[in-house]
Amino acid sequence: MILTMAIFACQDGISLHLTSTYNVFMVVMIRYWFFAAFVLTVSAKQAGGLRNAARTQQPFTQSFRGLLLAAEIVVMMFALVKIGLVESLAIFMANPLLVAALSGPILGEIVGWRRWAAIFVGFVGVLIILQPGMGVFSPWSLFAVLSSVMFAVYALLTRYVARQDSAATSFFWTGTMGAIFMTCIGVWFWEPMAPSDWAWMAGLCVSGALGHFLLIKVYELTEASAVQPFVYFHFFFAAIVGVVVYSETIEPNVAVGCAIVVAAGLFTLWRERRAARRGA
């Protein structure tokens, strides 16, 4: 899981490089072409092939999941370009808190007062990062907030469809629907790319496929709740990339706010795991 987060952080760094020069929609579209090809290859090699992978009783929900993830990636890339890796990922780390907050209305799960308290504290951390009402506040930061909300809904919908569909089916619909959606948009923003940047694009595509492949293997080996805390390594590695490669700085409010968000998120995950054990 730690290696997966390191790969995702490198992917974010490459995305920032490419989207600083080329249109976001085109970059995401090409990335999804490779992702879809990877998904189709993996699905074809599994038992039952593509027909079995595509079989679902929830086509609308699965389609919406795929579209939502593609849209979330676009929104996050805009945030990366406008406010940088460090601040974008610091805000995005509120995602587990949003998952906990939305698990009630979407999945019907019960969230106790302790987790609600942790969610509130985590959101205070996000406000410290954003500093609304102050001169340093950037409206583009709201793109990172929106991205975190969108990914939380995507994660919860993934749990929802998992009640009937296998991980292979969800993986198939995520890749194919995202590729179709981004192609319909991205082809209108095509622009020539320098040969050297095609190498970076290849790196982006390979890192994305490798990261998702490792994530699948992680969840095959252990429960998601056991490795979920390690998701916070994503910010750690992204901060290294942002500071070393892009000369970004970690402002005091970002460091303090992120520490609060991570602490609240870890507590929320711990309480969720305890609740799951009691239910078992």
Identity at 62, one-letter amino acid code? Q
Q: Average pLDDT for residues 206-216, to the nearest whole number?
A: 83
Retrieve residue 68's tokens.
């939502």
Residue with tokens 């429960």: 223
Cα dihedral 57→68→205→33 (10° resolution): 60
Q: Average pLDDT for residues 189-203, to the nearest whole number?
A: 93
pLDDT at residue 108 greater than cutoff 80: no
pLDDT category at 59 given cuts 50, 70, 90 is very high
Q: What is the pLDDT of residue 67?
A: 96
Q: Average pLDDT for residues 221-230, to the nearest whole number?
A: 72
Number of neighbouring beta carbons within 10 Å of residue 72: 21
Q: Average pLDDT for residues 211-239, to the nearest whole number?
A: 79
Q: What is the pLDDT of residue 251?
A: 84
